[in-house]
Amino acid sequence: MAKPDQPDLPLAEWIVLALVAERPSHGFAIASLTAEGTEIGEFWYISRPMVYRSITRLVERGLITPVGAEESDRGPQRMIYATTRSAKTAVSRWLSEPVAHLRDIRADFTSKLLLLQRRDISPARLVERQRLVLDEIEASLRTKEHTGDHLARAIYAWRLDLVSAARRLLDAVDVDSPQSAVKTG
């Protein structure tokens, strides 16, 4: 859930906004960063049409604004966008906040790690804050793991396994080296 001073955006729009916040850019460049097999697209692919829809929505919300155009040898001019000051602040805040739900570790949290790495920012604070959220989730699940019927117990056990998997991810993140966010040995 978004905070009153924080925009409520889907993940694709957050990623596009964060990339534009790094430096003014156009949709084609952003789509190149989120294409399949790229640094970001490998883990969270955003199609070119979705990038352009995200840009339109971000402009409509006043989070990015056109600041110029670039000639293209492959079609019309490409509009360059930059973030507003408040959008830059919102991106920084979003990147530092842990995800509240276990289901958001795979996409939202890992996207934040990738975007922090691109900015050469240590993920240490985010990882530590995420550990605290996982502690709360695990404690809640532990109070329920032996209740209900067989199916309910199976679901709680599965969710506890997801907490363990999320902890392994956090343990693998190299908080001392933002350039290589995952430990290699």
pLDDT, tens digit, for every residue of 141-150?
A: 999 999 989 9
Q: Which residue has the tokens 């294409």?
A: 35
Q: b/e for 50-89, b at 16 or more Cβ within 10 A?
A: bbebbbebbeeeebbeeeeeeeeeeeeebbbbbbeeebbe
pTM of the model: 0.88
Maximum Cα–Cα distance across the chain: 64
pLDDT digits (tens, 9 = 90+) for 100-129: 999 999 999 999 999 999 999 999 999 999
In this prediction, residue 182 carries a pLDDT of: 52
Tokens of 130: 């995420």
Residue 28, pLDDT > 50, answer yes
In this prediction, residue 8 carries a pLDDT of: 93
Tell me the C-alpha to C-alpha distance, in Å, between residue 173 and each of 3, 44, 137, 159, 176.
27, 18, 20, 21, 9
Least confident of 1-10, 28-37, 74-83, 88-97: 1-10
pLDDT digits (tens, 9 = 90+) for 37-95: 998 999 889 999 999 999 999 999 999 999 999 887 777 889 999 999 999 999 999 99
In this prediction, residue 184 carries a pLDDT of: 44
Distance CA 45, CA 41 (A): 4
7 vs 14, residue with greater confidence = 14
Residue 4, pLDDT > 80, answer no
In this prediction, residue 185 carries a pLDDT of: 46
